[in-house]
Amino acid sequence: MNEYDEICLEYFLEHQSQIYDEKVAETLEEAEAFLEDCIAVVCKDIQEVREYFEEEGADIAQMSNEDLEEASEVFSLPDGRFLVI
C-alpha cells in the first residue's frame, strides 16, 4: 500500500509521543509494521492531507491548514511531506 521510507520511519520513532502515551515501536522495522497496521498514509502536501480527511468523511471544513498541521494524527515530516495516522 504505502511505502514508508527511512525519513517517515525515523521521524515517527522520534515523535510517536505526539499521538501515543507509550512507545508503540522501538525499531524501524516495528515502526513500519505499526504504520502498515494503522494504514497510515504519506501525503505530499497539506492539500493532500485535507483531501485524505475529506475522502475519509472527517468534518474538517472549518479547519485551517495550520489546524490540520497541528492535529495530533498529522506528522509534519522534515522534507515537507506529511504522515497521517
Summarize pLDDT for 26-82 with one digit per residue, the tens: 999 999 999 999 999 999 999 999 999 999 999 999 999 999 999 999 999 999 999
Instruction: Name the pLDDT band for 3 (thresholds 50, 70, 90).
Output: confident
**Sheet hosting strand 82-84, strand order edge to edge:** 41-43, 82-84, 74-76
8-21 pLDDT, tens digit each = 999 999 999 999 99
In a domain, 27, yes or no: yes
pTM of the entire predicted model? 0.92
In a domain, 45, yes or no: yes
Check residue 1 and give its pLDDT.
44
Contact between residue 43 and residue 52 where contact means Cβ atoms under 8 Å apart: yes
73: containing domain: 6-84
In a domain, 1, yes or no: no
Domain count within the chain:
1
